[in-house]
Amino acid sequence: MKKKDIFIIIALSAAILTAVHYYSTSQEWISRDQELISDIPDESELIPVVRFDEYGIPIDSFRITEGRILRNQTLSSIFSSHNVNPAIVHEVANYSRELFDVRRIRPGETYRFFISDDTLGIPHYFVYEPNRIEFVKVRLYDNIAIERGSRVVHQVVRDVSGTVSSSLWNAMNESMVSPLLAIELSEIYAWSIDFFGLRQGDSFKAFYYENYIDTNSVGIDRIAAAWFRHMDSEFYAIPFEQDSVLSFFDQDANSLRRAFLKAPLRYSRISSGFSHSRMHPILRIRRPHHGVDYAAPVGTPVYAIGDGRVTETSYSAGAGRMIRIRHNSVYSSAYLHLRNFEQGIRPDTWVKQGDVIGYVGSSGMSTGPHLDFRVWRNGQPVDPLTIESPPVEPVREENIDAFNRIKEIWMERLDNL
């Protein structure tokens, strides 16, 4: 074999070996690249995750400022302090009063501005919270839009029991529950128990619904059932729905609601009772005091004790501002020393039991803010605390079996509490 042929064979062999090595190396790199490519997410996965808050606003895009509405502060002043265009303020105010009545914002309520997280700092959203559950969201950019919303609320059934040592309010505090439960109980038993005359040793039990947002309590919703011992008498409050209305009845199927409330104030104290001879605190002479004085802060709402027609709204040097109501052919009531009357209360106005008719004041001959409450029976003054008011309609005969089943369940639960 010639040397030239040998050289050609060697060159071809080297070329083949080089090609094989290149192919093998290329396959390794292709395989490695495929592995790398397989680790890259597809286009849809490259879209950034956007986090939304409870109002449906993308919170990562904004800075949030919070505040509380101050006394005499308006929406216009709040918006101007955050550089919102006055034209936007006007548009929001006239958008829809059903969605957002800007005249009804109140001191102490909270709000939030969602401001663009850049050098411009433009407010994009305004959120107003009239309470801890509801909110109003206002979009301030592009086209103005307003929507109402609410947080998800769930209810938990809780129970409480306690004994009165000084007041029902303090008893609730001692039982580590919201004192507002005392108001709920006083409303249920408003026709049966004089909560201004509770005695040491009176006791209570109740099941109630408490509202929660996540794990945070946002207040008591309502009482489910209750029991109260007052002056050696037991009072059950059994819930039962009749004619699509949920009411409370005692163990004998009588309604706890009466023709008259026990008191015209929800929660206060008696400062002076009914008397035929009392030393007048200003005149310093003895004279009849045919009423009950309830000491309460100025502005405390005063309620009509029963349905009736307003026969008088007047002012005198002695009684101050006074409202008189005729309830029927037998009973009438009067409310003295008021600061002012509720809007719309005037002679010949018809009021219902529990309607606000005025507010506690110190008008007329008075040494301090209180309500002088009086009742007449057949034209003669009577002690309001001794009136035995008849109940309204009891559980009807056709509903007794259903009521008894519910009564047995709640009475057993209350007795075992």
Which has more confidence, 283 or 417? 417
Looking at the predicted structure, is the pLDDT value of residue 336 above 90? Answer: yes
What's the N-to-C CA distance of the chain in angstroms? 115
Residues 95-107, mean pLDDT to the nearest whole number:
87
3-class state of residue 417 by DSSP: coil
Which residues form the domain of 375?
269-386
Whether 229 and 331 map to the same domain: the answer is: no
Q: Are residues 275 and 373 in the same domain?
A: yes
Q: Are residues 125 and 99 in the same domain?
A: yes
- Whole-number pLDDT of residue 12: 52
For position 41, what pLDDT does the model report? 41
Is the Cβ–Cβ distance between 249 and 395 less than 8 Å?
Answer: yes
**Final residue in a domain of this structure, among 105, 135, 150:** 150
Residue in 364, 163, 357 with CA at minimum distance from that of residue 265 = 357
Q: Are residues 73 and 116 in the same domain?
A: yes
Token digits for 370? Answer: 């209180």
**What is the per-residue pLDDT across 44-54, written as a single tens digit (0 to 9) for each?**
343 445 455 67
Please report whether residue 14 resides in a domain. Answer: no
Check whether residue 354 and residue 281 sit in a common domain: yes
> Looking at the predicted structure, is the pLDDT value of residue 124 above 80?
yes
Whether residue 161 sits in one domain with residue 137: no
- Band (pLDDT 50/70/90 cuts) for residue 36 is very low
Decide if 411 is inside a domain: no
Residue 162 forms part of a structural domain:
yes
Mean pLDDT of the chain: 82
Residue 38 resides in a domain: no
Domain-embedded: residue 53: no
What is the C-alpha separation between 15 and 26, in angstroms, rounded? 16
pLDDT at 40: 36
Least confident of 16-20, 56-60, 345-349: 16-20
Do residues 322 and 369 share a domain?
yes
Q: Are residues 237 and 294 in the same domain?
A: no
On whether residue 255 sits in a domain, the answer given is no
Q: Are residues 197 and 304 in the same domain?
A: no
From CA 334, how far away is CA 318, in angstroms rounded? 14
Residue 276 lies in a domain: yes
* Cβ 292 vs Cβ 275: under 8 Å: no
Residues 366 and 327 in one domain: yes
Looking up tokens 């489910």 gives: 224
The pLDDT of 224-250, averaged and rounded, is 92
List, for residues 244-298, the tens digit of each pLDDT value.
Answer: 888 899 999 999 887 888 888 875 556 555 455 555 555 455 556 668 888 888 9
Domain end among 131, 150, 169: 150
Q: pTM to 2 decimals?
A: 0.56
Same domain, 159 and 132: no
Q: How many domains does the chain have?
A: 3
- The domain that holds 176 is classified in CATH as 3.10.450.350
Residue 409 in domain: no
Cα 189 from Cα 231, distance rounded (Å): 14
Q: Assess contact for 390 and 331: CB atoms under 8 A.
A: no
CATH code, 306 = 2.70.70.10
Dump pLDDT digits (tens) for 70-80: 998 999 999 99
End-of-domain residue from the set 117, 150, 183: 150
Residues 283 and 193 in one domain: no
Contact call for residues 185 and 228 (beta carbons, < 8 A): yes
